[in-house]
Structure 1
């Protein structure tokens, strides 16, 4: 009887959690009320759907049309200035901003390098051994880890280039202030 009651309570908690999650994704299951065309200078950019009185357009198409820089980090889409505006913004950065950015990138770089070390020394060797024992079961995971390793190495190279650029900007600002 106790198992039944505890199972009932756990089931109710899981059901309540699922319904709370469904409320946070309010657009799912909503009816599309209309379709608008997004234009720039008379040329069609994309179609936007209307849901509950709000227009939803593809972010990539809008950013390309406006010249805005678009980056994706996890589940966050970041729209920045166009490349022309970014250059003038970078020139206006203060020494404190550049050093802060340098510290953030250095921290990210260290995390990526730790991840590479972990992949090379721990995860990939274990997956290689597992793939030898059960090739069908573990080869796909091994390939995924190798792909993650290559992506992380590419990100490290990009971060190192960013650090080099920031160091040059810091040096130029320090020389200009002397």
Structure 2
């Protein structure tokens, strides 16, 4: 919270206090901004405070401002804090202010990239889940295909053993591959579907966290 100041101020006491403030805060901070301000503030050294005014932001008092040569100078730290700035360094030569925008901006970019990555992973994972569910949904048909393929493989193997003239090596290879592929697809779907769903839950929770939900 910003401390409140009395509205009645001793002008001489305020002049002495503000001289220190101007030397250590106002002038130093101004030097950090532009060469024009630096040149202007150098002329203020030794100048007298012509008046003291109450300074408010949105009807909230943040202290007193010194009027020097027609220009009002605000209390730096209180003003900076009210504007969301942080005083990170104070010495007799300069005052450094930080808005945190660089850090927050970098974090925002990182969050955005991470969210895009998560969204892409979620899309791909949903495809895998859909494919696995489709396989499991057609399990009975796949089992019949496995059974018929197994029968054909056994028949062709018998033909080969008997040197049957109708034996076809290419057909035998096709049915063997079909049999192995059908078994693998069904086994993979049943094994991976719960893993896919668990991973999806984790990714969605991570995305919600980044989105602030």
Q: TM-score w.r.t. structure 2 length?
A: 0.31
Question: Is the radius of gyration larger for structure 1 or structure 2?
Answer: 2
Which structure is higher in RCO with an 8 Å CA cutoff and minimum separation 6? 2
Q: TM-score w.r.t. structure 1 length?
A: 0.36
